[in-house]
């Protein structure tokens, strides 16, 4: 079953919600620009392609790199970020809401969703010539984790080692920043839903899981970059700016 949306009407409704959010968080620097970019996603061809095809991108990656043929020790040796990221899954209660955890904010599942997002970004940009290169995927992932919205600049960065993930694991929410992040994610999901016209589709579940968690993972990376163990307003803004920038970026010269 499909549903048709009046996009102009939906944009007006979305703008009202954003204006209300901006009024409530009027002291947050850069929020107005971030919300403008979010509203622009409604008309973004790239965002629509990514959202509607993300599940297919993941399926294609798994077909090219089937789990049963993966030697985990070899994979970890080539891409140690995958080994160290497991730190995020230790002692986690993954049954709880991503917004209700008191301290274990960042999980391995969120990291996996971030990688899935990067797979989708690269596949979308490569189009019919998508090669699903593990090297390109994990190199871009680390670049974004460390540089965030500066990922397109010629800046050196470290590898995501054990200490990086231990630090990420310790990051907590500022409660007000968490409230802002939660409201912004709901707005993002509202926009994503406009792109998925088939009701009760598996696409919706997969896409929502990714879009719900990637901004949180990026906010934690931003806190680490700024040598903090608490995610603040500026980390939320940085996370969403990074999210938008990846969708429109020219990645050919970066990886």
| CA–CA dist 242, 236 (Å, integer) | 10
Average pLDDT, the chain: 88
Band (pLDDT 50/70/90 cuts) for residue 127 is confident
Range(s) of the domain holding residue 74 = 7-248
| CA–CA dist 193, 208 (Å, integer) | 9
Tokens of 214: 């990637």
- pTM of the complete model: 0.90
How many other C-beta atoms lie within 10 A of the C-beta of residue 147? 18
The answer to whether position 148 is within a domain reads yes
The answer to whether position 1 is within a domain reads no
- pLDDT score at 201: 58
The answer to whether position 255 is within a domain reads no
Mean pLDDT over 195-199 rounds to 65
**DSSP of 205-252, one letter per residue?**
HHHHHHHHHHHHHHHHHHHHHTT-SEE-HHHHHHHHHHHHHHHH---T
At 76-111, the pLDDT tens digits run 999 999 999 999 986 555 444 444 444 447 999 999
Question: How many folded domains does the chain comprise?
Answer: 1
The answer to whether position 2 is within a domain reads no
- pLDDT score at 90: 67
3-state SS, residue 160: coil
- pLDDT score at 128: 79
- pLDDT score at 169: 93
- Mean pLDDT lowest for which of 17-31, 65-79, 173-187, 209-223? 65-79
At 26-79, the pLDDT tens digits run 999 999 999 999 999 999 999 999 998 888 898 899 898 888 888 899 999 999
The answer to whether position 108 is within a domain reads yes
């Amino acid at each position: 079953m499909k549903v048709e949306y009046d996009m102009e009407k939906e944009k007006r409704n979305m703008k009202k919600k954003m204006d209300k959010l901006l009024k409530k968080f009027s002291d947050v620097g850069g929020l107005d620009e971030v919300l403008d970019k979010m509203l622009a996603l409604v008309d973004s061809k790239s965002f629509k392609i990514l959202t509607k095809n993300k599940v297919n991108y993941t399926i294609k990656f798994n077909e090219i790199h089937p789990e049963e043929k993966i030697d985990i020790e070899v994979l970890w040796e080539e891409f140690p970020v995958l080994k160290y990221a497991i730190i995020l899954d230790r002692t986690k209660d993954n049954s709880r809401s991503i917004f209700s955890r008191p301290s274990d904010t960042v999980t391995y599942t969120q990291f996996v969703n971030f990688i899935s997002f990067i797979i989708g970004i690269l596949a979308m940009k490569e189009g019919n010539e998508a090669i699903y290169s593990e090297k390109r995927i994990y190199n871009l992932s680390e670049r974004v984790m460390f540089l965030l919205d500066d990922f397109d600049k010629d800046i050196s960065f470290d590898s995501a080692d054990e200490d990086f993930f231990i630090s990420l694991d310790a990051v907590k929410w500022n409660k007000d920043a968490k409230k802002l992040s939660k409201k912004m994610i709901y707005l993002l999901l509202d926009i994503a839903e406009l792109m998925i016209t088939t009701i009760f589709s598996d696409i919706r579940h997969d896409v929502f899981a990714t879009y719900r968690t990637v901004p949180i993972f990026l906010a934690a990376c931003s806190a680490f970059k700024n040598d903090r163990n608490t995610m603040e307003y500026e980390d939320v803004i940085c996370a969403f700016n990074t999210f938008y920038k990846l969708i429109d970026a020219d990645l050919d010269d970066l990886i």
